[in-house]
Structure 1
Amino acid sequence: MSDAPQQIVTVYAVFASDEEAARIARILIDERLTACVNILGPCRSLYRWDGRIEDATEVAALFKTAAEQAEALIGRLAELHSYDLPAAAIWPISAATPGYAKWVLDETRPS
């Protein structure tokens, strides 16, 4: 493994449904804001919203992108998302296989 600090990152986000996650993933891949998206199974989310504790099923997704694209990815994701306040966070990747890191960087380079 080679160190690739702040060259590639993962953006974690949750969605109301698998369909919404896939729709947004396709758009962001097409726009080259992400190289790959792993849509995970349903998860149970408990959170406070409007003064109440909510208990909901959501779908988590991991977007792999270049660090320099992460803010644009989050901004575009927020535009496309059904939630008023989408949860999206950047997770740094401190090391990755060289071929993988290169692929992510190549796929997120504007054409």
Structure 2
Amino acid sequence: MTDALLIRITCPSNQVAHQIGDTAVEKRLAACANIEGPVSSTYLWKGVVEQAFEHVLWLKSVTACWAELEALVIELHPYDVPAMVALPCTEVLGPFADWLHENTKAPAN
């Protein structure tokens, strides 16, 4: 197991995904941001089945940055409950892991 994380966040628009992704990279909380979409989403919200088109933001980061990334998403994301999940990376190509650590920083305590 490594400390690398692949973080998936659904966003209501390309603009929101870019704002969160750009800010995360600028603050070195993520080394990279990728945006996919739009994708069709169906979900239950307050007892009602909803459908929407969303954009998927993927952030490549490390475990030490999770708490500050979570706070950033809560601040910038318009949803009451953003869908933000982290997938731990069990294996990572060595040079990529080096790049990931060179381009992220753990928040100061």
TM-score under structure 1 normalisation? 0.90
From 82, 85, 90, the equivalent of 2:81 is 85
The corresponding residue for 1:99 is 95
The corresponding residue for 2:17 is 21
Please report the RMSD computed on the Cα atoms of aligned residues, expressed in angstroms. 1.4
Report 1:39-54 matches (<5 A).
39-54=35-50
Task: Spell out structure 1 runs of 4+ moving beyond 3 A.
Answer: none
- Kindly tell me the number of residue pairs found equivalent between the two proteins: 107
Aligned-pair CA distance for 1:98: 0.6
Aligned-pair CA distance for 1:71: 2.5
Give me the identity figure in percent.
29
The answer (yes or no) to whether the contact 2:2–2:91 under 8 Å persists in 1 is no
Counterpart code for 1:92: P
TM-score under structure 2 normalisation? 0.91
Structure 2 residues not aligned, in runs of 5+? none
Q: Is structure 2 residue 67 aligned with structure 1 residue 62?
A: no
Structure 1 residues not aligned, in runs of 5+? none
